[in-house]
Structures are given as C-alpha cells and as structure tokens.
C-alpha cells in the first residue's frame, strides 16, 4: 500500500521556493540609473540608502519644471536631515550646458542636481513620458509612490510626512490588560 503523506523533503523544497519568491518580491531592485553630478562625479541612488529619496526627472526646457524646482529646494531645506532630493536632468548633450546656469538662476543649488538621465529612463520608473516626473523611494530602497507631471506642495508634504511617520512609528506593543 502506498503512503498518502507527501515526502517531507518535497514539502521543504516547496517551502523554500515560496520563501525565495517572497523575498525576491519584497526586495525588488530599483531600475538602473547612471548619474553624474555637475562636476562629473558618478553617483548611484544606493549612496542615499537610509534616507527618503525624492527622485525628480526634469529638464531646462520644461516649463512646469521651472515652477517645481524652487519648491523642491524649499522641501530639501525643510527636511534636510531626513530626505534627499535628487534632481535628475534629462537634458541631452545639446542642452546640458544650460543646466548649471538654470540651477543658479533659480537659486536651487541645495538640490542634488544630476546629469545623465534621459527620457528613456522614465519608462522603467513607471513615469512613461511625464515630465516632470517624480518617484518617492523609502529608506530601504522601495518605490512607494510616483507622480506624473508637476508636483503640488500639499500632496508632496503629505507623501513625505506619511513616509517619515511610517519609519519613525515605533513598533506597537500589545495593549496592557485593564487594571481592576
């Protein structure tokens, strides 16, 4: 007579596979993005792990970006120890020389302004061709929100506060039983 009980090694294998798929899903990697600062030094987003990243794709020829950049600079100043705004210009080689004067004109030098992004980079980040486009990345490197188009300050602050509150919220402990 055959046993109807599954082999314990088969169960262990299935459990291991389920765990591997679960871990792979929760530790999704961010799309690749090769950036350089205005001095030409290469950077990756992993350098900012542990901070909330506001990754903003913009261009000097984008009118809504001109409005958005000063607000992002103010937000960077307001939350300076908790977030980093990475302003990734999608200007091509022909318009990249305008980036630094653009930054100085708008007085947004406190932003982490980067070159090297392109309109093609918007797709893997889930922004299609929205410019400006913004991705919110938590301290562990997970994408938690996207905004296609111009940011609005109340929504931006609400998103950042939710992310900061989520991180700073202590693990809840079970409620103590009522005392009689």
CATH (domain of 149): 3.40.30.10
Answer yes or no: is 15 within a domain: no
pLDDT in tens, 130-158: 899 999 999 999 999 999 999 999 999 99
Answer yes or no: is 175 within a domain: no
pLDDT in tens, 90-130: 999 999 999 999 999 999 999 999 999 999 999 999 998 88
Answer yes or no: is 106 within a domain: yes
Answer yes or no: is 26 within a domain: no
Answer yes or no: is 73 within a domain: yes
User: Is the predicted pLDDT of residue 18 greater than 80, yes or no?
Assistant: no
Answer yes or no: is 180 within a domain: no
Q: What is the bridge-based pairing of β-strands 143-148 and 83-89?
A: unpaired
Structural domain total, the chain? 1
Paired tokens of 79: 């939350």
Query: Residue 141: which region, alpha, beta or left (left: phi > 0; alpha: psi -120 to 50)?
Result: left
Which pLDDT does position 10 carry in this prediction? 38
Answer yes or no: is 137 within a domain: yes
Alpha carbon distances (Å) from 103 to 59, 111, 156: 11, 9, 21
Domain range for 75: 35-166
Answer yes or no: is 7 within a domain: no
User: Is the predicted pLDDT of residue 13 greater than 90, yes or no?
Assistant: no
Alpha carbon distances (Å) from 45 to 80, 124, 149, 154, 174: 17, 15, 22, 25, 37
């Amino acid at each position: 007579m055959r046993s109807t009980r599954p082999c314990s090694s088969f169960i262990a294998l299935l459990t291991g596979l389920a765990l591997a798929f679960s871990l792979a899903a929760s530790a999704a990697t961010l799309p690749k993005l090769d950036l350089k600062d205005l001095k030409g030094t290469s950077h990756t987003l992993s350098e900012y792990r542990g901070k909330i990243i506001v990754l903003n794709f913009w261009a000097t020829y984008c009118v809504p970006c001109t409005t958005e950049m000063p607000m992002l600079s103010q937000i960077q100043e307001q939350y300076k120890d908790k977030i980093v705004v990475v302003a990734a210009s999608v200007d091509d080689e022909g318009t990249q020389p305008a980036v630094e004067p653009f930054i100085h004109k708008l007085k947004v030098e406190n932003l982490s302004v980067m070159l090297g992004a392109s309109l093609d980079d918007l797709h893997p980040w889930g922004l299609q061709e929205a410019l400006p486009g913004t991705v919110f990345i938590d301290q562990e490197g997970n994408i938690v929100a996207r905004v296609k188009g111009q940011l609005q300050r109340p929504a931006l602050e609400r998103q950042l506060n939710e992310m900061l509150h989520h991180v700073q919220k202590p693990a809840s402990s079970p409620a103590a039983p009522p005392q009689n």
